[in-house]
Amino acid sequence: MYLITLEGGDGSGKGTATKMVADILRQEGAFTSVQVTAEPRRNHPLGKLAVEAVRTGEAGPLQEAGYFAADRLDHSHMWIRPRLILGAAVVSERNVHSSLVYQGIVGDLGLEEVARLNANALVPDLTIWVDCEPEIALKRINEGTLRMATVNKTEYFETDELQSRIRVGFQQLLGGEVAMPKPFNRGQVEGPIMNHKTESDLENALRVTIRRFLRSAPSPLNVTTQEVEMTLLKQSMNAQDGQQTLNVGGEPQKDHEEWLNGTPPWRVLSSAHKIYADAWEASDERLASQVPKSALSRTVFSIVGTLSLVPSADVRRLRATLGPVRSISHRHTQRMLQFLDGQQGWIRRHRSILGREAPRAELRSDWLAFGRMALILAPLRPWIDEWAKKAGERPRWRDSLSQILNEDEDDVRAAAWMAIERFQAVGTGLDPKRALPNDIDDLKRWYRGE
- Mean pLDDT of the residues in the chain: 88
**Residue 38 backbone dihedrals phi, psi, to 5 degrees:** -160, 160
Among 177, 10, 192, which residue's Cα sits nearest to residue 93?
A: 10
- The torsion angle over the Cα atoms of residues 52, 55, 57 and 60, rounded to 10 degrees, is 30
Among 356, 264, 368, 266, which residue's Cα sits nearest to residue 311?
A: 368
Q: Which residue has the higher pLDDT, 347 or 189?
A: 189
**Integer Rg of the chain from CA:** 26
**pLDDT band at 316; cut points 50, 70, 90:** confident
Can you tell me the distance from the alpha carbon of 162 to that of 159, in angstroms, rounded to the nearest whole number?
Answer: 5
- The percentage of the chain sitting over the pLDDT mark of 70, rounded to a whole number, equals 90
**Residue-level pLDDT at 146:** 43
**pLDDT band at 284; cut points 50, 70, 90:** confident
Q: Which residue has the higher pLDDT, 107 or 157?
A: 107
**Residue-level pLDDT at 155:** 53
Can you tell me the distance from the alpha carbon of 225 to that of 326, in angstroms, rounded to the nearest whole number?
Answer: 10
134 burial level (CB within 10 Å; 0-12, 13-18, 19+): buried
**pLDDT band at 349; cut points 50, 70, 90:** confident
**Residue-level pLDDT at 158:** 55
Tell me the mean pLDDT in the region 360-382.
Answer: 94
Q: Which residues contact 432 (CB under 8 A, 6 or more apart)?
A: 257, 258
- The percentage of the chain sitting over the pLDDT mark of 90, rounded to a whole number, equals 66
Can you tell me the distance from the alpha carbon of 16 to that of 202, in angstroms, rounded to the nearest whole number?
Answer: 9
**Residue-level pLDDT at 159:** 63
Least confident of 36-50, 141-155, 218-232, 404-418: 141-155
**Residue-level pLDDT at 357:** 59
CA distances from residue 407 to 109, 400, 403 in whole angstroms, order as listed: 51, 12, 7
Say which amino acid occupies 185. N
**Residue-level pLDDT at 7:** 97
**pLDDT band at 355; cut points 50, 70, 90:** low
Least confident of 176-180, 201-205, 263-267, 308-312: 308-312
- Give pLDDT tens digits for 318-327: 888 999 999 9
**Residue-level pLDDT at 383:** 96
Can you tell me the distance from the alpha carbon of 381 to that of 376, in angstroms, rounded to the nearest whole number?
Answer: 9
- Give pLDDT tens digits for 383-434: 999 999 998 888 899 999 999 998 778 999 999 999 999 999 999 999 888 8
CB 193 within 8 A of CB 131: yes
Q: Is the pLDDT of residue 351 over 90?
A: no
Q: Which residues contact 231 (CB under 8 A, 6 or more apart)?
A: 85, 86, 87
CA torsion sign, 170 to 173 to 174 to 180?
A: negative
- Give pLDDT tens digits for 228-282: 999 999 999 888 765 544 343 444 444 568 999 999 999 999 999 999 999 999 8
**Residue-level pLDDT at 171:** 95
CATH class in words for 2-216 = alpha beta
411 burial level (CB within 10 Å; 0-12, 13-18, 19+): exposed
Among 354, 412, 346, which residue's Cα sits nearest to residue 384?
A: 412
**Residue-level pLDDT at 148:** 42
CB 83 within 8 A of CB 76: no
CA–chain centroid gap for 165, Å, is 36
Q: Is the pLDDT of residue 27 over 80?
A: yes
Can you tell me the distance from the alpha carbon of 130 to that of 231, in angstroms, rounded to the nearest whole number?
Answer: 34
**Residue-level pLDDT at 150:** 41
- Give pLDDT tens digits for 82-132: 999 999 999 999 999 999 999 999 988 999 999 999 999 999 999 999 998
**279 Rama class: left (phi>0) / alpha (psi -120 to 50) / beta:** alpha
CB 258 within 8 A of CB 432: yes
Tell me the mean pLDDT in the region 125-154.
Answer: 68
Least confident of 21-35, 45-59, 63-77, 420-434: 45-59
Taking residue 122's Cβ as centre, other Cβ atoms within 10 Å add up to: 26
The domain ranges of the chain are 2-216, 225-239+250-448
